Structure 1
């Protein structure tokens, strides 16, 4: 597998769609590695959620929805910025 992917290759992965999980080849392209242990390291280092499959040589399972959101630069709900309501309390100090 190639070490880097072009935007065209990434879009091709998104457009294939249909499946709930990325294929083995797609995970290889995403992580730049064919070795499951290194794929898991890459996913951990970059904060991608995945599920470990059972069995020797099983590649990590990545949800296609997560891939699409990441490629579209959408933040997951838990990491989206939250409003700081405590700032409203400090408004009284300025009046």
Structure 2
């Protein structure tokens, strides 16, 4: 190989390496979670910037909503209010 061809080869390889590494930051991945609640399913896609799994928190909050507002859960707050003839205390 002549010096000129060798310089072109190294220049091409160097530029290819720089192209692949510089200016291409890795974007945080997206995670998908899904589950079952209130007779249906939910699907959430979120950008995971800190490596945190939010599914336990989502399920906990959906369970709280179900305990408060479900018409099908006889122990929910709404069901207790609907079937009660006396005032029902509402928790804070």
Q: Which TM-score band applies after superposition, normalised by the shorter structure? A: under 0.3
TM-score, with normalisation over the residues of structure 1? 0.22
Structure number with the bigger relative contact order (C-alpha 8 A, sep ≥ 6) is 1
The structure that is helix-richer by fraction is 1
Structure number with greater Rg is 2
The structure that is strand-richer by fraction is 2
